[in-house]
Each structure stands twice: as C-alpha cells, then as structure tokens.
Amino acid sequence: MRVLICQDAETAALRTADQLCDQVQARPDCVLGLATGETMEPVYALLRTRIATRQLNLLQVTTFNLDEYVGLPKGHPESYRATMQRLLFDSAGLPEKQIHLPDGDAPDLVAAAANYEAAIRAAGGIDLQLLGIGENGHIGFNEPTSSLGSRTRVKTLTQSTRKANARFFSNNGEAPLFAITMGIATVLDARCCILLATGPKKAAAIAAAIEGPVSAVCPASALQLHPAATIILDPEAATELKLQSYYKTVHPSGGDALF
Ligand code: F6R
C-alpha cells in the first residue's frame, strides 16, 4: 500500500489527476473505474481543464462508475449518471457506449448487477479504479459489514451515509435508501486502485483502513489486500495515522518513493 501525504487538498487532487492521466497516456483505450462525491470534484475539474487545453484525451477510454442510486429516474439531476455527465463525460466527449454506470432504474436489479459484472469482464477488467471513502469507511456504497467477497449488488445505505449525501439533493431532503454498487471483490479485481481522502472528517476512517485490521467493519481496509493500492491524503485526513512520519519518509511530500 502506498500512502502519499500531500501538502494540502489541492496537491492531493492534483496527484490523483496526474496518476489517472499517466494511465491514459500509457494506454489511451484503458478501462477506468470512476467515483462520485465531493472529494472527486477537484479531480474532475483538473481533468476538464486538461481536456480543454488538449493535454488529455479521453475519447478512447471505457468507464465504469462504482455506484448509482436505486429508484432515481434516468436523467434525474442528482443521479450519479447526470453528475458524471456534468463533471466529466460532457467535456470528454465520451461516446455513450463507452460509459457504464450500474442501472439503478432497472426493473430487475439482480439481473442489472450481474450484467454490470459481465460488462466489466467483457471490457477486460478495470485498469485503474478511483475511490473515495465514507466517514464510516465505505468504498463505493459497500457499507460496514459488506462482505469482502461481494460483487455488484443492491445495498441499503446507512443513516450516516444518507445524511452525508443529503446535501447533494436539491431539497436537501433524503438521499435514496438503496444503491447498486460494485462489490468489494469487484473493486479488488481492478489492476490498480487509487483512494483519495481529504479533510478532517475522513481521518478516523483512513486510520482504520490503513492501520486497522482487514475487516468488513471498515470496507476500505480490504485495500490492504490489493497489490497496487495507493492512498492519497491531505494532512487533515492523515491526522490519525500512527505511522505518518514513516509514510512521509517513504514518499517525501507525497511524491514518488525514494526506493
Ligand atoms: C461515490 C462513492 C462513495 C464516495 C464517498 C465519499 O461514488 O463511491 O464511496 O466516494 O461516500 O464521498 P465524499 O467525497 O462526498 O465525501
């Protein structure tokens, strides 16, 4: 696990965007796993700028988002599909057939989940998976006690997640109770995972994920099992890490390892 503690949240987003751009440069037709949430917004803003200035071309990539709410009609402004269109897909000019999100509006959600897994396999698997983390340690919408062997399926959201996400809903009302999300095993299948966390609210979850036991109680701790996981942090998200000074020695200023 590479733990990069950057000088501030801006630098952490920059480092995340750089890693994604490096992946696309190495393989323009790569498969990207994408996340939504406030933490990712500065990353997508950087990508939009790079697309506008022709430093980045996403036209050949295939994307799979981690999750989608259940029961929001297609085109609902707070759906993750609409959010991703606004934040990235419209600027990237990505052809529709290369964009994938779980279908939270499907009449048969079990079949939709199985189809999503099949589509990821058919695309050759995910090269790089972007992740945020919930205050309760969730990745995607794999809430605490999600099986570490889980695959794409419907999950019931916890009250704390619904409360945290209520801010995205225009009436500041309720976030939906259910979501369809890649499972933890689905995430671990990605060839490379990058988790970005910023701000003090994420400090406890980050400490549990990196330095706690591998446990379904903290789904992000499953990344300890991944051979190529990078955790990118700002100082606030890193405050509860006991081995902070070690991580800073290995990756000075959150940069490349000395060795
Ligand atoms: C969303 C997702 C979630 C978020 C997490 C953090 O696609 O997968 O796991 O990454 O809830 O959200 P923010 O960044 O809003 O704190």
Q: Helix, strand, or coil here: 3? A: strand
- Among 138, 165, 226, 234, which one carries the catalytic annotation? 138
Write the pLDDT tens digit of every residue in 115-151. Answer: 999 999 999 999 999 999 999 999 999 999 999 999 9
User: If you average pLDDT over residues 175-187, what whole number do you get?
Assistant: 95
**pLDDT tops 80 at residue 174:** no
- Residue identifier of the C-alpha nearest atom 8 of ligand 1: 140
Ligand 1 centroid vs 36 CA: distance in angstroms? 6
* Confidence label for 171 from pLDDT (cuts 50, 70 and 90): low
* Confidence label for 164 from pLDDT (cuts 50, 70 and 90): confident
Q: Is 239 exposed, middle or buried (0-12, 13-18, 19+ CB in 10 A)?
A: middle
Annotated active-site residue 171? The verdict is no
Q: Whole-number mean pLDDT of the chain?
A: 96
Mutate to test the pocket of ligand 1, among 65, 84, 100, 138 (most ligand atoms within 8 A of CB): 138
- Among 103, 143, 189, 234, which one carries the catalytic annotation? 143
What is the second-level CATH architecture of the domain 2-251? 3-Layer(aba) Sandwich (3.40)
**pLDDT tops 70 at residue 243:** yes
Ligand 1 centroid vs 204 CA: distance in angstroms? 15
Atom of ligand 1 nearest to the CA of 165: 15
**pTM for the structure as a whole:** 0.97
16, 44 in Cβ contact below 8 A? no
Annotated active-site residue 76? The verdict is no
User: If you average pLDDT over residues 34-52, what whole number do you get?
Assistant: 98
Report the pLDDT value the prediction gives residue 172, as an integer from 0 to 100. Answer: 61
**pLDDT tops 90 at residue 256:** no
